[in-house]
Amino acid sequence: MAVSHIMAINLEAKDLRKAFDEGRFPSAGWEIGARSDADAHAKELRGGMWSALTMTLAFAVTGLMLAAVLGKVHPALPLDWGKMLSVVGGLLAAWATLFELGGYAETYSGEALHEKLRPVFFRAAFLPGLIFATAGQLWWQ
């Protein structure tokens, strides 16, 4: 899909479209390089997601340990579903934010598939996180 997307973006340029129509573009084997680039960008996206998740969980565990030391979290205390919703929402929003702020390889056109997917992934985690965090804060027992 990314390879087809790359070709479609290239063909939007008038000079490349003319070369394509004349049979001079793309060069033989172009899809191998395009697939290699797409694989590298996909690996970068996955790495960014895992890195952001790892950092988010590390800070969450640190926060949980601090709350336990302060006596605010203990297995004997009753479970508060509102707080649980708020925590889950905060973690989703934090993960999405760290992922988005992590940076990524930018292309000249800014139209590569990985550049288009990144904001979609961000919204897919951040917005539900915001909903859960808000619902958790407004939860009334």
128, two tokens: 């539900």
Q: Report the pLDDT value the prediction gives residue 141, as an integer from 0 to 100.
A: 65
Task: At 92, list the tokens.
Answer: 């989703």
Angstrom CA distances, 134 to 64, 85, 86, 98, stand at: 20, 8, 7, 20
* Residue 117: per-residue pLDDT: 83
- pLDDT (0 to 100) of residue 18: 84
pLDDT in tens, the chain (141 residues): 777 777 777 777 788 778 878 877 787 777 777 788 788 888 888 888 999 999 999 999 999 999 999 988 888 888 889 999 999 999 999 999 999 988 777 777 777 777 888 889 999 999 999 999 999 999 876
Chain segment 120-137, per-residue pLDDT in tens = 999 999 999 999 999 999
Instruction: List the domain boundaries for the chain.
Output: 2-138
Where would I find the beta strands (DSSP E) of the chain?
none
pTM score of the predicted model: 0.74
| Span 84-106, pLDDT tens digits | 999 999 999 999 999 998 877 77
**Burial of 48 from C-beta contacts in 10 A (0-12 / 13-18 / 19+):** buried
